[in-house]
Each structure stands twice: as C-alpha cells, then as structure tokens.
Amino acid sequence: MAAEERAKQLHRVVIFAGKAASGYWVAKQVIKLINSVAEVINSDEDIGDILKVVFIPDYSVTAAESIIPASDISQHISTAGTEASGTSNMKFCLSGGVILGTVDGANIEIGEEVGEENIFFFGCLAHEVEDFRHYLRFHQPNPDEALQAAFDLIQAGTFGDAHIFQPLIDSIMRGGDVYLLSVDFPSYLQAHQAVEEAYRDHDEWITKSILNVARMSKFSSDRSIQEYAEEVWNIEPLPVDNSKV
C-alpha cells in the first residue's frame, strides 16, 4: 500500500483478550497466531500507528473494567446458532460500544432493542448453518480473495514457522470448516467497511453510541430478576418494613 493510501486509513488498535483451557490445543494455536501477527504488525515502520494489535493475557473482570469502557467497537463473532454471544456484548453496549457481530445469541436481542441501524450484523443465519455444514462435508471451501491472501501470508512464514499454524488452515480447508469461517468472512469484511464509513461521520457514530446506552434498559439485572421471579421461580416480592431498615 502506497504512503498516500496509508494516510487515508483510519487508525485502529485491535485488542484481543482471553485464555485457553489447558487441553484446548486449537485455542492455544489461535493465541499464538494473534501474538505472532501482532509482533510483525507492531514492528512495521511503514504501518506505524495506523494499526496496532494487542493481546491481553489472563482476561478477567479487572481487565474488562479497563477494556470495555475504552472500546468504540465490540466484536462478537460466534457462528449463528451456537449461542456463544452471552453477556459481555451487553456490557460493551452499556458502556457506549457499538457491536459488530453475527446474528447469534444476545446480539439478536440487542439488535431488537437498539435498532438494526445501530448494530453491524454479518454472516449467515442460524437456519442456514446446517445446510452450509452439510455442503462443506463433501466439498472443499472456496475462500474469497482476502481470506486466501491471509492463508498465503501464514503459509509463506510471514508470522513465523508456517507449520505451527497449518492445522488452523487445515481445520477450514480440510476439516469441514465447522464454524463457517470461509462462508462468513466476505460479509465480515463488508461489515468492517460499514463500520469505517460510519466512524468517519463523527456525529453519526456518537449518535449510535448514545442510543446503544439509552436503549439497553431491558438488560438490567432488576428486569432480569423480576422476570425470573414471575415466570420461573413463581415467587412474589416481600414487603419491607422501612421503619426497621
């Protein structure tokens, strides 16, 4: 990319945070790849401050207290139907973060509350997942140009020993692509393009951020507990004698 083109790019800091269970080998590979990519990008003088990649180890509530309020965009990208998007996306929205995510789990409920114009959805829908998985059991994925370029960089040793990361590529190209990365990736990039366009309009982005906070009342703990009390536990409130409080 020429210097003139780089100057037009939005500056980004991409933060990953997490931990892998002791026996979760694939997760450890993913973390290794993130850190290897970060090492290359963060030391590239041409990229400079346009892009930084950070991995925060041993993710915890304490770490989240700093990360979540500082985030402009929050990515929740579980495959549709896996219900992996839980409550952390709610915390980001309540702190003014805008979601980029799949049509999965709590992302769906949040979209209903904040308005789909204030959330960036991408990827296949839950009812499409099994059809895609069935197809990929018998056919090799056909990654788009951008995903293939990423594979090529990894296999060329750009981020270190390519053999270390080959199993990750094989899980997509030869393992049936269970999580449909090859299917969702093109729309993922389109969603990022929509994020960039919205972010360049400062007033539009601030509006999205404020509305995300203002429309999240459904996800308060008070509402959740009351609903459980009425519909699950079948209990009624107990009057409190304020004179004894």
**pLDDT per residue as tens digits for the range 63-107:** 999 999 999 999 999 999 998 766 889 999 999 999 999 999 899
**What are the start-end ranges of the H helices in 145-237?**
145-155, 162-173, 181-200, 202-214, 221-228
pLDDT in tens, 179-197: 999 999 999 999 999 999 9
Element (H, E) at 65: helix 61-67
Question: How does pLDDT run across 22-66, given as a tens digit for each residue?
Answer: 899 999 999 999 999 999 999 999 898 999 999 999 899 999 999
The pLDDT of residue 85 is 61
Token readout for 68 is 């979540």
Do residues 155 and 166 touch, judged by C-beta distance below 8 A? Answer: yes
**Domains in the chain, please, with CATH?**
3-244 (3.40.50.2000)
Query: Band of the pLDDT at 245, cuts 50, 70, 90?
Result: low
Reply yes or no on whether the pLDDT at 3 is more than 70. yes
